[in-house]
Chains A and B, each alone.
Chain A
Amino acid sequence: MDRGFLSNIELKTFKGRIYYALAVGFLLILALIVIFPFVYAFTSGLKGSIEIFKSGLNIIPRKAQWHNYSQAWESFKMLKLFRNSFIIVIGSVLLRMTVSVMAAFSLSHLRPFGRQLVMMAFLLTLMIPSIAYLVPLFVTLGNLPIIHKSILDSYWGLWLPYAADAFAIFVLKSFFDRIPSDITDSAKIDGASSFQTLVYIILPLSRSIIIILSILSFMNIWKDFLLPYLVISDPERQPITVRLFYVAKDYGVNVQMAAAFMALLPPLLIAILMQRYLKAGLTMGSIKG
């Protein structure tokens, strides 16, 4: 590894070694603090209902009560909660990517009349915080203009709001802009329609950016609380993030912890498995107001 602000030779001196050991120590302690809630949820989920209230720093349970986990799984109906979350998130990501890819392709390669204006109108939504129009959004979803139907309490009420993401359009457009138009032109000469150009030329070339955006969207939508909390009031359809919080109070703390730990696993697993893509996407994705 190349040097940082300290050179490798400086690190080998006595002072350098002390500094390095202190830095590693600090980072490891910080890592412990950061991971602690996960570990604490896991081990508290294994404790008995009396043991969990015992005083003293007993992180590790005396005897692991694995049945807490199966009890939590059963009584919170976690399978259904996970299923609801997945339906909401996967539907939203698919719709968002479809809508954004098509719009970005049009803005970047078909370049119709007035495209700058359309792009500005998309980007405007990034500048206005979503709280500004949360209330009218709720009213709109409850009474759609023209057709006068309510999509509150249906998954469309979440899929549609999540599908509008100017950031994805912006990133995809900048990526498509770098694909030379000679490639799309030659496809056109060979008789490909715009749709074929998009599917057979553009999409394969931009697979990586689409995967990155999909993962980022997946995590952000999975995490979201306020919108699903407002839109879906039917407990049978609520995602895990909304439902679990409200039913948790009715059970013992140890069962709560077991359920919380299980609910943490899917996003954690995805973050760890997909970290190769995340690394590239995060720096790009997080500077978003």
Chain B
Amino acid sequence: MKITYPLHATHFVDRSFSGLAYRLSRHITGYLFLIPAIIVFGLVAWYPIVRAFQMSFQEVSLLGESKNVGFENYELIEKDPARKVLFENSLEFASWSILLGYAVPVVVAILVREMRFGKGFFRIVYFLPSVVPVSIAVIVWRFIYDPDAGVLNELLKLFGIKGQLWLYDVKLAKPSIVAVMTWGTFGTTTLIYLSSLLDIPTELYEAAELDGASPLMRIRHITLPHLAPVMSLLFVIQILAVVQVFTEPYLFTKGGPGRETLTPVMHIYNRAFGRADMGYAAAWSVVLVIILMVFSSFYQLFNHRVAARQQN
């Protein structure tokens, strides 16, 4: 709501609030209020971002002077045998995460939207794992996955299936970890889809029904197109998040068995804090971030193209 003042009143406001002294003091107070944020951001964000670039060209020594080494760190990355492993692992992690977790929240949100009672119950239940700290969830889940006494193998035994090694199995380690990640995050995603679904005017469905569209056709032609922009955004967010995953594989398997669950961030962590090779780790993080940014901008470009073509 806009309050309008009588003409002479605004005139008074303008004159007394537009003097040079007033304006100067306004800018100064403005920056006084900004100072805490600027100090904090400078210290823990802007300065470290600049330092990341700087360190990637250095051999960093925590005690003495750091030495400039030019592109040596980047050349070492090119020779790093872990490079191929990390690329493959990220690709597999991302694929598993899309496979296990991408469609689930969409389906669940559509079903929950259709509930006539108990919407709130499902919403809160599915959301609960999202508040659980990963390190605590890992304590519980690694016992569920336990090859000897875990409940999962006991359950398989009921169906006559042989127990699996889960986290210690070369083939199953990634999907097992991704399953826990999906458990921990799909509730939040469901809530996002659900709130988007509630924006669909019910008249659309009514009109479609009158025109003889079957329920599946209504989902295909009304619900899914409405969700499409959110789905496309969450697709890229999910991939960016899973490529940067650290805590789950680090706590579950430390990257094992072998290097099956080694992720780029874990590699950076190992280099920086295991071997104290900060410059090399900084170069890796610069490379990783550039790859992620190139990926997301290509994805957005592609998305715009598709959207533009659909409109024509």
Complex contacts, B116 vs chain A, CB 8 Å: 1, 8, 11
Q: How far is the CA of A15 from the CA of B38 in the complex (A)?
A: 61
Q: Is B170 located at the chain interface by the 8 A CB criterion?
A: no
| Known contacts A59-B151, A131-B265; A105 and B222 CB within 8 A of each other | no
Q: Which residue of B lies closest to A145 (CB)?
A: B47
Q: How far is the CA of A30 from the CA of B129 in the complex (A)?
A: 13
Among B111, B123, B133, residue most surrounded by chain A Cβ atoms (within 10 Å):
B133
| Known contacts A57-B154, A118-B38, A286-B188; A4 and B113 CB within 8 A of each other | yes
Q: Is B206 located at the chain interface by the 8 A CB criterion?
A: yes
- CB pair B108–A27 under 8 Å, yes or no, is yes
Neighbour of A122 across the interface among B37, B183, B223, CB < 8 A? B37
Interface residues of A in 29-44 (CB under 8 A from B): 30-31, 34-35, 37-38, 40-41, 44
- CB pair B136–A128 under 8 Å, yes or no, is no
Complex contacts, A55 vs chain B, CB 8 Å: 149, 154, 157
Q: Is A142 located at the chain interface by the 8 A CB criterion?
A: yes
Q: Is A107 located at the chain interface by the 8 A CB criterion?
A: yes
Complex contacts, B33 vs chain A, CB 8 Å: 102-103, 105-106, 110, 194, 198
Complex contacts, B240 vs chain A, CB 8 Å: 129, 289
Complex contacts, A66 vs chain B, CB 8 Å: none
Interface size classification for chain A: 35 or more
A-B contacts, CB under 8 A, total: 302
Q: Which residue of A lies closest to B285 (CB)?
A: A132
Complex contacts, A225 vs chain B, CB 8 Å: 133-135, 247, 251
| Known contacts A27-B115, A105-B33; A135 and B272 CB within 8 A of each other | yes
Q: Is B1 located at the chain interface by the 8 A CB criterion?
A: yes
Interface residues of A in 3-56 (CB under 8 A from B): 3-8, 10-11, 19-20, 23-24, 26-27, 30-31, 34-35, 37-38, 40-41, 44, 52-56
Other A-B pairs, 7, CB within 8 Å; known A5-B110, A53-B149, A140-B43:
A2-B202, A40-B140, A41-B140, A106-B29, A129-B244, A133-B285, A135-B272
Pull 26 A–B residue pairs with CB atoms less than 8 Å apart, ordered by A.
A1-B116, A3-B205, A4-B202, A5-B222, A11-B116, A34-B129, A35-B125, A37-B137, A106-B29, A112-B28, A115-B30, A129-B240, A136-B47, A136-B51, A137-B48, A139-B62, A140-B44, A160-B44, A161-B44, A185-B17, A194-B33, A198-B33, A225-B247, A268-B128, A272-B124, A283-B192
Binding site for A on B (CB under 8 A): 1-3, 5, 13, 17, 26-34, 36-38, 40-41, 43-49, 51-52, 55, 60, 62, 108, 110-117, 121-141, 143-144, 148-149, 151, 154-155, 157-158, 183, 187-189, 191-192, 195, 202, 205-206, 209, 215, 218-219, 222-223, 233-234, 237, 240, 244, 246-247, 251, 265, 268-269, 272-273, 278, 281-282, 285-286, 288-289, 292
